[in-house]
Amino acid sequence: MSETAAEALSAPILPYSRIVGQDELKLALELNFIAPAIGGVLIAGQRGTAKSTVVRAFALMTGGCLPVTLPINATDDRVLGGWELDALMHGRARRQPGLLEEAHEKGLLYVDEVNLLDDHIVNIILDVVSTGVLSVQREGIDTEAHVSFGLVGTMNPEEGSLRAQLLDRFGLMVTAAELDIEERHRMITTVLAFEEERLVADSAWLREAEDDNRRLRDALVTARERLTAVRLDPDISRLCAEAAARTGAVGQRGDLLVAKAARALAAREGAPAVARAHVRRVVPLALRHRRPDSVHGPEPAWGQEEESVLDELFG
């Protein structure tokens, strides 16, 4: 067993392949992995809806380690990097990498309760994600590095919203779903089984879960490798633009994100070209947070009216 697999098996996080429900949330994470240019996923949802569990399980599945987590009280030094204080106290200047560089090494940056974070810090993170360049020019440090990592933010809208300018810069947005009774039952039995199997040496249950994780990760990596080979024909790109316009998306960023997400979904399904069905499935993910009245309550402003528009557009 590899070191990565061993770490994933030993972590006290339910394996990604065994998480019950949350299909839309998982789809958004997988599309962002396939096409990092999507620029991150924002997950809204009330407390106790497994937002953090899904993100951490996904990080373990794709990278073999937990994501780099940004604390709410993070400073510029912690995010961008600075000088090691202990070294400075002994007369030595030694640079300390920041969380964004750590995220580059581990593959995923997780920002819990992003709506409570200082806007300045959120801006820094989103700038680095969109440009792929980490430029640090402060306190005698002048460095520039190319970085790449997935970005996932979570928020409980009941505790405050995110400014529209920042909201718009997340590629996809999803609401963590409340489970129905049958899913709640499956969740109970699955979590209890996991807690018991973690105590069993060489658990067949855990090995099977890790095998399923590995197969899914291999499929996602394959999809990422073939992404640029997936065609986006002119009639489909026009459909992306029409969907954004008809649903009232503000600005043009959403048009492009619909196309990127649809292309990633086509790659995930092994399709040679983006189809209308791919566009239809990703439109809510790419556009629900780009309407003028987005996220002023417990749910994003996307409902039956928008779905009716899409039903009419896609037939």
| Three-state secondary-structure class, residue 138 | strand
Residue 199 DSSP one-character state: T
Strand runs (DSSP E) across 90-180, as ranges? 95-97, 108-111, 133-138, 141-146, 150-155, 172-175
Q: Which of 253, 280, 288, 291 is catalytic?
A: 253
Q: Is 81 exposed, middle or buried (0-12, 13-18, 19+ CB in 10 A)?
A: buried
| 47 given a catalytic annotation | no
Residue 179 DSSP one-character state: P
Report CA 57 to chain centroid distance, whole Å. Answer: 12
Amino acid at the residue 284: P
Return phi, psi of residue 138, to 5°: -165, 145
Decide: 32 and 73 in contact? Cβ < 8 Å.
no
Closest CA relative to residue 214, chosen from 22, 43, 61: 61
Closest CA relative to residue 57, chosen from 18, 112, 87, 106: 18
**Which positions are catalytic?**
253
